[in-house]
Amino acid sequence: MEIITPTLLVDKDQVYRNINKIAEKAKRNNVRLRPHFKTHQSAEIGNWFKEFGIQAITVSSIRMAECFANEGWKDITIAFPVNTLEITKINDLAKKINLNVIVETKETVQFLEDNLKTKVKVWINIDVGYHRDGIQWDDFNEIMEVAKKIEDSSLLSFIGILTHAGHSYKSRTKEEILQTHLDSISRMKEIQQLLEKNNFADVEISVGDTPTASVAEDFIEVDEIRPGNFVFYDLKQEQIGSCKEEEIAIRFACPVVAKYDKRREVLIDGGAIHFSKDYIINSEGKMIFGYISEHNNDKWGKRVKDSYVKSISQEHGTVKLNVEYFNKIQVGDTLIIIPVHACLATNIMGKLRLITGEEIDALCR
Amino acid sequence: MEIITPTLLVDKDQVYRNINKIAEKAKRNNVRLRPHFKTHQSAEIGNWFKEFGIQAITVSSIRMAECFANEGWKDITIAFPVNTLEITKINDLAKKINLNVIVETKETVQFLEDNLKTKVKVWINIDVGYHRDGIQWDDFNEIMEVAKKIEDSSLLSFIGILTHAGHSYKSRTKEEILQTHLDSISRMKEIQQLLEKNNFADVEISVGDTPTASVAEDFIEVDEIRPGNFVFYDLKQEQIGSCKEEEIAIRFACPVVAKYDKRREVLIDGGAIHFSKDYIINSEGKMIFGYISEHNNDKWGKRVKDSYVKSISQEHGTVKLNVEYFNKIQVGDTLIIIPVHACLATNIMGKLRLITGEEIDALCR
How confident is the model over B206-230, as a mean pLDDT?
A: 94
Q: Does A273 touch chain B (CB under 8 A)?
A: yes
Do A74 and A209 reside in the same domain of the chain? yes
B148 is a domain residue = yes
Checking DSSP bridges between strand B316-320 and strand A334-338, what pairing results, if any? unpaired
B291 is a domain residue = yes
Nearest CA in chain A to B268: A83
CB atoms within 10 A of CB B119: 14
The lowest-confidence range among B166-175, B195-204, B249-258 is B166-175
State the residue range of the domain holding B323.
249-338
Report the percentage of chain A scoring pLDDT > 70: 100
Residues of chain A with Cβ-Cβ distance to B343 below 8 Å are: 314
In angstroms, the CA A226 to CA A221 distance is 15
CB atoms within 10 A of CB B310: 17
In angstroms, the CA B239 to CA B172 distance is 7
A4 is a domain residue = no
DSSP β-bridge partners for residue A132:
none
Cβ neighbours of residue B119 under 8 Å, at least 6 residues apart?
B94, B155, B156, B157
Is B3 in contact with A332 (Cβ distance < 8 A)? no
pLDDT at B298: 78
Amino acid at B336: I
Burial A237-246 (b: 16+ CB within 10 A, else e): bbbbbbbeee
CB atoms within 10 A of CB A341: 26
Per-position DSSP letters for B197-257, written without gaps between them:
HTT--S-EEEEE-HHHHHH----TT-SEEE--GGGT--HHHHHHTSS-GGG--EEEEEEEE
In angstroms, the CA B347 to CA A61 distance is 20
Domains held by chain B: number? 2
Among B41, B78, B85, pick the best mutation site for testing chain A contact (most A Cβ within 10 A): B85
Alpha helices in chain B (DSSP H): 12-28, 43-50, 62-70, 87-96, 106-115, 140-152, 174-197, 210-215, 235-240, 272-275, 323-328, 342-349
Q: Among B84, B259, B332, select the one facing A332 at the smallest CB separation.
A: B84
pTM for the complete prediction? 0.96
Residues of chain A with Cβ-Cβ distance to B311 below 8 Å are: 132
pLDDT at B124: 98
B273 is a domain residue = yes
ipTM summary value: 0.95
B232, B267, B292 — which closes off a domain? B232
User: Looking at CA atoms only, how far is residue A351 from chain B in angstroms?
Assistant: 14
Is B84 in contact with A331 (Cβ distance < 8 A)? yes
Is B85 in contact with A331 (Cβ distance < 8 A)? no
pLDDT at A143: 98
∠ CA B53-B26-B35 to the nearest 5 degrees?
A: 60
Do B265 and B151 reside in the same domain of the chain? no
pLDDT at A168: 87
Do A213 and A298 reside in the same domain of the chain? no
pLDDT at B1: 82
Do B66 and B208 reside in the same domain of the chain? yes
Among A64, A84, A331, A334, pick the best mutation site for testing chain B contact (most B Cβ within 10 A): A331
In angstroms, the CA A336 to CA A6 distance is 10
More confident residue, A298 or B317: B317
Per this entry, what is the length of chain A?
365
Do B52 and B194 reside in the same domain of the chain? yes
Sign of CA dihedral B296, A63, A235, A134: positive
Digit-coded pLDDT (tens) for B189-198 = 999 999 999 9
Do B152 and B292 reside in the same domain of the chain? no
Do A254 and A225 reside in the same domain of the chain? no
B180, B197, B232 — which closes off a domain? B232
Residue ranges of chain A whose pLDDT lies below 50: none
Do A63 and A189 reside in the same domain of the chain? yes
B232, B266, B299 — which closes off a domain? B232
Give the CATH number of the domain where residue A314 resides: 2.40.37.20
How confident is the model over B276-297, as a mean pLDDT?
A: 95
Return the biggest CA–CA distance within chain B.
72
pLDDT at A201: 93
Chain mean pLDDT for chain B: 96
Alpha helices in A51-86 (DSSP H): 62-70
Do A217 and A315 reside in the same domain of the chain? no
Give the CATH number of the domain where residue B121 resides: 3.20.20.10
In angstroms, the CA B180 to CA B210 distance is 12
* Collapsed DSSP state (helix, strand, coil) of residue B290: coil
Cβ neighbours of residue A141 under 8 Å, at least 6 residues apart?
none
Do A44 and A112 reside in the same domain of the chain? yes
